[in-house]
Amino acid sequence: MRPASTSQRKVYDKPDGKLTFDILSSVYLSNTSHDEDQPVHLKISDQNIPISINLNIYGGPEARYCPAGVYEFLQDGETQNIRLQINSQNCIHCKTCDIKDPKQNITWTTPEGGSGPNYTGM
């Protein structure tokens, strides 16, 4: 992976709702189910790496490579500190984060029940 300073950010057209869809609609269409009381299946080994390395050097790739928008960088309103938010309920269990993370800092484990995308009508 190249540093963000040496790369040009790709800008995508807005989803049209016919051929292309927004992330949350696509997550819904994947029909992936989650039990509310499951143990966490996305683990960050070193909590400092997402900001100090991934965001500062690579521009926060986890917010872009995850097709379900599980990872997002948020800024605290009071302290202005940036943190990585993990929305594991959106996970479609593709394991991209475990493979693509530049420092291999994210560990994906099979959630209880082991479900994955269940596209209907295909």
- Give the residue among 90, 99, 92, 98 at the shortest CA–CA distance from 117: 92
Predicted pLDDT at 20: 87
Residue ranges in the chain modelled with pLDDT below 70: 34, 113-122
Predicted pLDDT at 12: 86
Q: What is the 3-state secondary structure (H, E, C) of 43-99?
A: EECCCCHHHHHHHHHHCCCHHHHCCCCCEEEEECCCCCCEEEEECHHHCCCCCHHHH
Whole-structure pTM value: 0.80
Q: Please state the domain extents for the chain.
A: 45-107
Predicted pLDDT at 114: 58
CA distance 117 to 85: 22
> Do 15 and 22 form a contact (C-beta atoms < 8 A)?
yes
Predicted pLDDT at 70: 94
Domain 45-107 has CATH 3.30.70.20: yes
